[in-house]
Chains A and B, each alone.
Chain A
């Protein structure tokens, strides 16, 4: 379904804030998401993505700010909001002791469908997600991808107009991830639902989203289409790989603005990819007698936007993600 700019907003929010104690997790989030679009909230671990989803899906309440979901006030008309939304969280919310079919029937009972409609809807969703053969198997025997599909199918039993997907493909293998993407695209194209998606994968946001917002330390630091965001960053980066952690350490000290990956032993230095800057980087390494194993030049992609906008791993980020994991 084409996105009509005049469509009523599915989600609007102004000044959403949330603190736990004196730790500010969300610091004044504004959102405006038109109906029938895919919106991606992008951010590193602990940026506040899950908190945003929890607030908008009525799980927790914000300390400040207002939001309207499908035209209903988030705090005043909670039941109407719940009737319009579906949520698939980071951890598959399925009943492990039941079969796939029983899980779907549980949902249809809770949506107050008749037994007959429930069975029909269940069979239809199992077919659509290619789970028909596994319908009578307990969910414990399912692979991660199958569980995630069942989770989404359960969300769809109630025909939600707005679907929140909190990191829908985290932990999935590449094939399952692509299947999930197809399903998400299909939902918007065939049924015109609105998708609010959080992800830490830039490729995912690039592939799926009409609009992307970058969240960092509880604040939106950028918003736009994938192309608009890429234009924010003038150049790509130079990626250096080192033989050992020492080399990486020394080089990281030389390039203050570089993003470091200690596991991969790589350093990403923002750069326009021109020969003079490339030479300059090599000169700096030579002068310090640091040996890099390999060098690659990247033209700008969303990763660069992400790394530049969210800064390096700042001291606060660690405690932030611990805080989020603790809930």
Chain B
């Protein structure tokens, strides 16, 4: 077999290992899905009445607050997945098994590829669950099949970017506690964007940040595809952010992994 097919085979082995671990230790997966679900319930049923009225003039599409907030919460499901990536990469690094992998004649990339692909699959499943619950709660997207395809594409790109970043964080974190804290800013960023309320309602400085941070164009693109609101150049900006962040995360993770064993 050639080097390339060995690399593919090793990556598949690592992916199988990670998926098996996720099924074996479901409490992590459950908490990753639970976070956005709680947010969805909280913001729709508890704050929804007040917030929904407050943003009456905003481009919500259908007019219901759930239609405004669902795309934002879907994004939170993606950031929540990043948390579990960082934790699982870091706990692997601290448990000594990675040193075994490093001393074996296997593809160096396979360890990271297995983790990232496994996490992307898990996160996409959790996004699908969040979407399902939102539909049950009255979320009524107007997307066409082609738009659904585009939505899937954007989500895959976004999750890939977040996962590579989180994998790098997991690699450089000294312990699992640090690893679970490092992606925190990622999970808070959607709040400082257009996930919950439109940036137009924020004070000037914050509004400027909200408009230019990477999550806002992603949310606006998703909202546009789902609800038919105006996308404008948000689509291009969102894809650029995702590709850029993926690249940064990938290079960062690769260099962190190729450094001398630290433990």
Interface residues of chain A, those whose CB is within 8 Å of chain B, are: 54, 57-61, 79-80, 82-83, 85-87, 89, 91-98, 102, 106, 109-112, 138, 154-155, 158, 327
Contacts and interface: CB of A to CB of B under 8 A. Distances in A.
A57 B106 CA distance: 14
B105 A95 contact: no
Interface string B87-129: 0000000011101111111100000000000000000000000
A86 B9 CA distance: 21
B262 A58 contact: no
A60 B260 contact: yes
Chain A facing B: main interface SS: loop
Nearest to B17: A106
Interface stretch (B18-26, B55-63, B227-235, B236-244): B18-26
B13 interface: yes
10 contacts: A57-B103, A79-B105, A82-B103, A95-B17, A95-B95, A96-B95, A97-B24, A106-B17, A110-B106, A112-B1
Nearest to B3: A79
B13 A106 contact: yes
Given A102-B20, A110-B13, A112-B6, A93 B263 contact: no
Contact of A110 (B25, B99, B101, B260): B101
A316 B260 CA distance: 24
B-side interface size class:
20 to 34
Contact of B261 (A59, A82, A109): A59
Interface of B: 1, 6, 9-10, 13, 16-17, 20-21, 24-25, 95-97, 99-106, 260-263
Contact of A61 (B9, B21, B100, B260): B260
Contact of A93 (B16, B96, B262): B96
A138 B263 CA distance: 25
Contacts of B17: 95, 98, 106
Contact of B25 (A58, A82, A97): A97
A93 B21 contact: no
B81 to A, nearest CB: 19
B6 A327 contact: no
Contacts of B25: 97
A58 B101 contact: no
B100 A109 contact: no
Contacts of B20: 97-98, 102
